Chain A
Amino acid sequence: GIQVEQSPPDLILQEGANSTLRCNFSDSVNNLQWFHQNPWGQLINLFYIPSGTKQNGRLSATTVATERYSLLYISSSQTTDSGVYFCAVERTGANSKLTFGKGITLSVRP
């Protein structure tokens, strides 16, 4: 099956700092999603981004499908950004089956 690797595994930031989270995948994909799992366990959709660049407020994401990676940028981080960030991909031809990375645990300190 497809491999999804996220880095770094853990990240500690001071409030206001910027960060970049990375997701590498081992095969061609037709779906890539970034999720934020908040401290209550809820999975929040951040981006649906199989290719290209999108921005939503302080967050933006870029996927370079030909090079099999995606980046999530968080600018001016806030304590509410804390939680686990997951990258999930659907391999081309996998018929909607998402494979998740292990996640990046982000802690933003006040």
Chain B
Amino acid sequence: DAGVIQSPRHEVTEMGQEVTLRCKPISGHDYLFWYRQTMMRGLELLIYFNNNVPIDDSGMPEDRFSAKMPNASFSTLKIQPSEPRDSAVYFCASTMKGGGIHEQYFGPGTRLTVT
């Protein structure tokens, strides 16, 4: 299996621009998570989906952030408009809740820089 795939790996954009991050979970996994890592706040959960449905978006910082999962193999995290404080590494993770095992697997991350 290729693991969780994220694109792009690096994104540099100017303040005010729209940014779209993409994620392909591991095939067969029914949960997908978006995390953000910063020096100040560490790793924090933004939103997660179960069977393509958003379950908990309480970690999404504000309305400029939105996430979708149109099908079981693709999700996007969008920031519009972007701000310098959004600069961070964004991780996508997935898991399959079968047999009581909830191990999450992470993608390589997207390093976002907003200037």
A-side residues, CB < 8 A to B, are 30-31, 33, 35, 41-43, 45, 48, 86, 88, 90, 95-103
Complex contact A96–B31 (CB within 8 A): yes
Identify 9 new A-B residue pairs, CB closer than 8 A, beyond the known A35-B106, A96-B50: A31-B103, A33-B103, A41-B108, A42-B106, A45-B106, A95-B56, A96-B102, A97-B56, A98-B104
Chain B's interface size range is 20 to 34
Instruction: With a 10 A CB-CB cut-off, give which of A30, A31, A43 has the most chain B CB atoms.
Output: A43
CB-nearest residue of chain B to A90? B102
B51 CB to closest chain A CB (Å) equals: 12
The answer to whether residues A48 and B101 also contact, given A41-B111, A42-B108, A96-B95 and a CB cut-off of 8 A, is: yes
Alpha-carbon gap, A15 to B42, bound state (A): 28
